[in-house]
Amino acid sequence: MAKAEKNIILGVTASVAIYKSCELIRRLKECGFAVTVVLTKEAEELISPVLFQSLSGRRVYRAGIFDEPDRQSQEIEHISLAQKADLILIAPATANIIAKLAGGICDDLLTCTVCASSTKVLIAPAMNENMYNNKITQSNIRKLKACGYKFIAPAKGLLACGKLGVGCLAEVETIVKEAKKNLKDGY
């Protein structure tokens, strides 16, 4: 009997590093993972869902939890996504999504999916260095780590603001390696 492929929900938020999500999808698929993208509303302002659908070969789920449901299915999207996920990977993760998750705020499809899931959550932050080092952001990260969420530290590099600092999305290979490790480690 063939081994079932692992399902990764890739949450994509509105960071300048969003373009790296395209390469991330390609690499995860090369590793044999099924990748389903969930975009935040703000992410859609930066990149078209059609691109992610083409790369993943799957339907892209978008922002609203109360959008018109898929006519083919009467599933509750965030519950269905949560149940099918072997891993939820949020890359890039903004300070906003980290704060929402730490506060238990479920006001979009991605946050509701994370809240409804009992699977591992892996978060790769990408933001300005001052935002990343902000005491509130760091407190939110510690809170999520205490709840079992895993983080991939951002890298030092040239930030969107033109300054050198910590806040760049980790390299795609690093994220893929961590995703594989978290899928192998079990639950």
Count of other CB atoms within 10 angstroms of residue 157: 12
Domains and CATH numbers, the chain: 7-184 (3.40.50.1950)
Does the pLDDT of residue 92 top 80, yes or no? Answer: yes
Q: What pLDDT shows up at residue 186?
A: 54
Which phi and psi (to 5°) does residue 90 adopt? Answer: -110, 110
Write out pLDDT tens, residues 5-51: 899 999 999 999 999 999 999 999 999 999 999 999 999 999 999 99
Above pLDDT 70, what percent of the chain? Answer: 90
More confident residue, 19 or 64: 19
Does the pLDDT of residue 69 top 90, yes or no? Answer: no
Structure tokens at 25: 């999808």
Which active-site residues does the annotation give?
A: 161
Does the pLDDT of residue 68 top 70, yes or no? Answer: no
Listed in sequence order, the residues at least 6 apart from 43 whose beta carbon sits closer than 8 Å to its beta carbon are: 12, 13, 14, 18
- pTM higher than 0.85, yes or no? yes
Beta-strand runs (E) in 31-170: 34-39, 61-62, 87-93, 120-125, 150-151, 155-158, 164-168
Q: What pLDDT shows up at residue 5?
A: 85
Listed in sequence order, the residues at least 6 apart from 93 whose beta carbon sits closer than 8 Å to its beta carbon are: 11, 13, 15, 123, 124, 125, 126
Q: What pLDDT shows up at residue 1?
A: 43
27-31, 114-118, 139-143, 156-160: segment of lowest average pLDDT: 156-160
